[in-house]
A and B are shown apart, each in its own frame.
Chain A
């Protein structure tokens, strides 16, 4: 008997004694729930055992089972059988609908005043509740598109929210309010984190007659990688718990990716300061289809956020109206909601470092950059750098679809600078990394995890080196990404359970073009044989793989080969992905760079000969997730 159960037992004993004092004929009876239900059950899920023991019942009559839902009149489920001998389980079947909290009561048959209770949450959302923001960037059947929004998940799993969708090619959510999310659901497997988010919107142009479906894989209960999978579009992004209300203030850095009002690829990045409704001291860089324009000053006006954390930013010169969604006081998602242009991305706070950044703010780091589908070259580049003063050396990989690739390229005599406001640049000498050379970098709060903004432990409060958002300002390579501190490049650290995803841009220059996206989970083993073994789902609305559906399951078991000359770099070769209804596995090769045990970035190795480029993230999971995590918090509460 654990401590909690012991306490419950003692409390039940006391209550039963008091009850007995009130005139019970059997004041020595004690009831204890010995097998509790899970903390969370999905509606209509399979029956689960629950059991109770009765002590001091001279008649040995056993236990009578009953339940009540939090809301009077709601179904609470059923028991089979309704009474059991002491210690013998009954099977509890949850109700068919998500009713939230249900109290299960085990009472002595001999004396119903002696009882114990346990709570179970009947929820479609795996027990997760609260406000979550999401954003994705990808390709629909018209163009590059952006989607950002916020959902509120109630304790019973019901879901409402608001969002903005924009492809600037005929599908733009009506403004100023965007789309309403009138319903939907979140469900997932707590053992893997893989699940589905369904959003029912009031915009029939989106998804399947207004219903968008996204697949996600939770990294932890506050964060998931997410892709759109309903066949109307495909994209990758992030799903994160919101801290509401929050008032963003102070220094921020930002970067966004999209297609501008010239209908060509466009990227913006820079810094600004927020104080109330005023945006000041803004500086942005822009890469408009290979035409870079840097150090543009801007100001703006921030409207107050609504209850979902959505507000607007106007007057910036980058777009007519940018909607923002609060993740927390130092993390915002930004989306251009004009019908003539689109972009989406993030702004992150600079915290106490605002105004004090220097070149020394950037330490050993991993960077990852990617174009979008409207690029002249579809490309990805990932690498790691070791700064020394304002210069750096390192190693990186680049894959430029149709152009070529360069693996494990030494980077020497690179240079960078960072102003006190966090605005800076980083230059990889021409010729060392393909077309990737001139990068704008925009430093953020060293304590922030840019890919999991709610993560307070990695890098955590003790970290001193800044992360940065990145925009590629090259003529032949327009893209965006991140640069994050490399805090652990030990091979042994790349082990455990990971959520992972990638965005795969494809164009063979002749007849094949489109995007597919993957999200899933995997186990990495550090010891020989080092393997990355996992599964997930592929969104393939362009049917590039020739599967039976635009949504396929996929599996892989791939060797991980550490690059002993460049600790932190791994070759995943082959990364052969078996897709459910596709005969031939996709013969990818991949390379990963490790920023820490919890965070790696990977890209498709161009040596695989595919006319495609993918890049994405590998993030260590905190298991168990959702319901399983909540199970430990389930309570048995005896009542008098």
Chain B
């Protein structure tokens, strides 16, 4: 059974078009720098000032009730934004304390994910006067956001 490629195929083809060579050259000691488009493209980062409307709940049964929890929703001057945290941000240990009604500043990239949802993938979040990096510059989650040093990377994009 053949199934249609979704965003994955398009992204991969785009990567192919931009790619100038293989990502992995083991014969040489020097790593070949890949030219694949990063899934998290820091050049498209922007900063948002927002008020937290909701944070993800920890109620059970979430896999089978996808969509029932609004998740991390931010109110910006331009409207509502669906924020994407990392699985580790709200951990009891090494996590952050974020509550509805708080004012936050987030930097990240707006991305389209599965099922065509638009989410703002957050890399840094400033809450309570402190800035935390929750992802690497390639978008990989950091497991210890609560322990991270204040992020100082300037936003390279605009603001909503």
A142 contacts partner chain B, Cβ-Cβ < 8 Å: yes
> Would you call B140 and A403 a contact (CB within 8 A)?
no
Task: Tell me, rounded to whole Å, the shortest Cβ–Cβ distance linking B118 to chain A.
Answer: 10
> Would you call A404 and B9 a contact (CB within 8 A)?
yes
Which of B30-38, B44-52, B150-158 lies at the binding interface?
B30-38
> Would you call B88 and A408 a contact (CB within 8 A)?
no
Task: Tell me, rounded to whole Å, the shortest Cβ–Cβ distance linking B113 to chain A.
Answer: 4
> Would you call B114 and A440 a contact (CB within 8 A)?
no
* Chain A residues with CB below 8 A from B27, complex form: 295, 417
* Chain A residues with CB below 8 A from B40, complex form: 376
**Max chain A Cβ within 10 angstroms of own Cβ: one of B28, B39, B117, B119:** B39
* Chain B residues with CB below 8 A from A182, complex form: none
B93 contacts partner chain A, Cβ-Cβ < 8 Å: yes
> Would you call B9 and A611 a contact (CB within 8 A)?
no
A545 contacts partner chain B, Cβ-Cβ < 8 Å: yes
Bound-state CA distance A373–B144 (Å) is 14
B160 contacts partner chain A, Cβ-Cβ < 8 Å: no
Which of B56-64, B99-107, B124-132 lies at the binding interface?
B56-64
> Would you call A427 and B62 a contact (CB within 8 A)?
no
Interface range for B: 35 or more
With A424-B26, A511-B70 already in contact, the answer to whether A546 and B61 are too (CB < 8 A) is yes
> Would you call A438 and B23 a contact (CB within 8 A)?
yes
> Would you call A289 and B26 a contact (CB within 8 A)?
no
Contact of A400 among B8, B13, B15, B72 (CB under 8 A): B8
A7 contacts partner chain B, Cβ-Cβ < 8 Å: no
Binary contact track B1-24/A, C-beta < 8 Å → 1, others 0: 111011111011101100100111
Task: Tell me, rounded to whole Å, the shortest Cβ–Cβ distance linking B21 to chain A.
Answer: 10
> Would you call B24 and A292 a contact (CB within 8 A)?
yes
Which of A84-92, A147-155, A258-266 lies at the binding interface?
A258-266
Contact of B24 among A262, A263, A440 (CB under 8 A): A440
B78 contacts partner chain A, Cβ-Cβ < 8 Å: no
> Would you call A543 and B60 a contact (CB within 8 A)?
yes
> Would you call A547 and B36 a contact (CB within 8 A)?
no
B25 contacts partner chain A, Cβ-Cβ < 8 Å: yes
B94 contacts partner chain A, Cβ-Cβ < 8 Å: yes
Contact of B1 among A475, A510, A571, A582 (CB under 8 A): A571
* Chain A residues with CB below 8 A from B64, complex form: 545-546, 582, 584, 586
Bound-state CA distance A265–B62 (Å) is 25
Closest residue of chain B to A259 (Cβ to Cβ) is: B143
> Would you call A169 and B36 a contact (CB within 8 A)?
no
With A294-B24, A511-B56 already in contact, the answer to whether A169 and B143 are too (CB < 8 A) is yes
Closest residue of chain B to A612 (Cβ to Cβ) is: B63
Contact of B16 among A431, A584, A606 (CB under 8 A): A431
Closest residue of chain A to B139 (Cβ to Cβ) is: A376
> Would you call A430 and B19 a contact (CB within 8 A)?
yes
Residues of chain A in range 264-305 having any CB-CB distance to chain B below 8 Å: 264-265, 285, 289-297
Bound-state CA distance A636–B9 (Å) is 66
Residues of chain A in range 377-424 having any CB-CB distance to chain B below 8 Å: 377, 398, 400-408, 417, 423-424
> Would you call A292 and B138 a contact (CB within 8 A)?
no
B82 contacts partner chain A, Cβ-Cβ < 8 Å: yes
A70 contacts partner chain B, Cβ-Cβ < 8 Å: no
Bound-state CA distance A571–B1 (Å) is 9
Bound-state CA distance A404–B10 (Å) is 10
Contact of B63 among A290, A433, A545 (CB under 8 A): A545
Task: Tell me, rounded to whole Å, the shortest Cβ–Cβ distance linking A168 to chain B.
Answer: 8
* Chain B residues with CB below 8 A from A262, complex form: 136, 142
> Would you call B119 and A295 a contact (CB within 8 A)?
no
A480 contacts partner chain B, Cβ-Cβ < 8 Å: no
* Chain B residues with CB below 8 A from A508, complex form: 62, 66
Closest residue of chain A to B8 (Cβ to Cβ) is: A404
A344 contacts partner chain B, Cβ-Cβ < 8 Å: no
A121 contacts partner chain B, Cβ-Cβ < 8 Å: no
A75 contacts partner chain B, Cβ-Cβ < 8 Å: no
Closest residue of chain B to A399 (Cβ to Cβ) is: B8
With A431-B16, A475-B38 already in contact, the answer to whether A425 and B24 are too (CB < 8 A) is yes
With A476-B39, A546-B64 already in contact, the answer to whether A295 and B23 are too (CB < 8 A) is no
Closest 3 CB pairs of A and B: A546-B61, A404-B8, A543-B60
> With A170-B94, A429-B16 given, can you name 17 additional A-B contacts, CB distance below 8 Å?
A141-B93, A143-B88, A143-B143, A264-B141, A264-B142, A290-B38, A290-B140, A294-B31, A376-B139, A401-B114, A403-B114, A404-B7, A407-B1, A408-B1, A427-B23, A430-B15, A610-B63
Chain B residues engaging chain A, CB cutoff 8 angstroms: 1-3, 5-9, 11-13, 15-16, 19, 22-29, 31, 34, 36, 38-40, 56-57, 60-66, 69-72, 82, 84, 87-88, 91-94, 113-115, 117, 119, 121, 135-136, 138-144, 147-148
Q: What are 13 A-B contacts defined by CB distance under 8 Å?
A: A263-B142, A263-B148, A264-B143, A289-B136, A292-B31, A377-B39, A510-B56, A511-B72, A544-B60, A544-B62, A546-B63, A609-B115, A612-B63
